[in-house]
Structure 1
Amino acid sequence: MGLKESLAKLSMINIKRGEVLFKEGVPSNGAMFFLFEGQLDIYKQIEGKHAKLRSILPGEFFGEMAIINNSPRAASIVVVSETAKLGIINRTTFVQMSQESPEFLFLLLKKVIERLYETDGKIRAIKRKEDEDTMIAKVVPSSNSSEIPEGSGSATSVDPFSDNATPVGE
């Protein structure tokens, strides 16, 4: 039996725009999903803020960490389309699909690796942006002081990007 036949046998759920399928950090129910219709967005809390990592589009699997190690959810999933139609894959179904369709495991592993690289890059970019914003706030003089004081020679004698740097004019 092929992957299409295996997917056709899944239990289905329909959820509406704005509904949260699951939240980051909550215990998983040991199920992963396949999106048949609609669009979902993935959010992860990074340094106290919810950051959108990416969208899930029809034809994608997600939530596989729940199958493998039954860990808490690593991110939050929110429906952004009018509705979404999902197939539920529990551990028993996962094993069955793996045996009946070896292409399933290959596609899943390939997608997981691609997502790992993509997510890691996005998290690094978000943190880098926050670090840059913090550095700019430390280095840029306040709006009242736009000039370097006379006789100061250089703006600062320490590395302007270190935590000990003092903004010019202070």
Structure 2
Amino acid sequence: MGLKESLAKLSMINIKRGEVLFKEGVPSNGAMFFLFEGQLDIYKQIEGKHAKLRSILPGEFFGEMAIINNSPRAASIVVVSETAKLGIINRTTFVQMSQESPEFLFLLLKKVIERLYETDGKIRAIKRQQDEDSAIAKVIPGSGAGSSENEMGDGEAPPEPFSDETTPVGE
């Protein structure tokens, strides 16, 4: 059985714009996901602020650390499209897909490595910008360094769902 056939068998969920699939730091439910439709954004707390790392687009896997080592979620995932359709991959399904479709493991490993490099670079850039803003604020008190940009560093406002009262959809 190929990867397409394996993906067609996944349990599906649909979630709406602004909903949080899961929050950074919460225990994982042992599931990873495949995005069929919609767009999700990944946010990470960096020095007390939510920073957008990247978007997840249809055809991408994510949340694989929950399957591999059942670690807490490394970032928060928020729906930014009107709706999103996701397939849920639990550990049993993951093992089965790995056995039935060796290309699945290769694609997943390739993506994980690419993301590590991309995320590391993005975090370094965000920290560098925050350090520069802090240095400017010390030199020119009241300059409001960084005030024209928000916490995201890319001109986007953080979504409202990061309040403590929000219950993540995927947990």
In the superposition, the TM-score normalised over structure 2's length comes to 0.81
SS of residue in 1 equivalent to 2:161? coil
Cα gap change, 1:136 to 1:98, in 2 (>3 Å): same
State the distance in 2 between where 1:162 and 1:139 align.
33
Task: Identify which of 150, 153, 161 aligns with 2:152.
Answer: 150
CA contact (8 A) 2:21 2:169 kept: no
Cα gap change, 1:99 to 1:160, in 2 (>3 Å): closer
Per-residue CA shift, 1:116-164, capped at 9, x if unaligned?
0000000000000011111122234778999999999999xxx999999
State the distance in 2 between where 1:151 and 1:41 align.
14
In the superposition, the TM-score normalised over structure 1's length comes to 0.82
CA contact (8 A) 1:17 1:79 kept: yes
State the distance in 1 between where 2:79 and 2:156 align.
53
Per-residue CA shift, 1:57-82, capped at 9, x if unaligned?
00000000000010110100000001
State the distance in 2 between where 1:20 and 1:45 align.
15
Percent of aligned pairs sharing the same letter = 91
Aligned residues: 167
Q: Tell which has more relative contact order, 1 or 2 (C-alpha 8 A, sep 6+).
A: 2
CA contact (8 A) 2:16 2:81 kept: yes
Cα gap change, 1:51 to 1:98, in 2 (>3 Å): same
CA contact (8 A) 1:148 1:169 kept: no
Identify unmatched segments of 5+ residues in structure 1: none
CA contact (8 A) 2:32 2:67 kept: yes
* Corresponding residue number in structure 2 for 1:97: 97
CA contact (8 A) 2:22 2:169 kept: no
Q: Which runs of 4+ in 1 moved over 6 A?
A: 141-155, 159-170
- Which entry has the higher C-alpha Rg, 1 or 2? 1
State the distance in 1 between where 2:83 and 2:132 align.
38
Cα gap change, 1:142 to 1:67, in 2 (>3 Å): closer
SS of residue in 2 equivalent to 1:160? helix
Cα gap change, 1:151 to 1:87, in 2 (>3 Å): closer
State the distance in 2 between where 1:18 and 1:129 align.
27
Larger mean Cα displacement after TM superposition, 18-27 or 137-146: 137-146
Alignment RMSD (CA, Å): 13.4
CA contact (8 A) 2:2 2:101 kept: yes
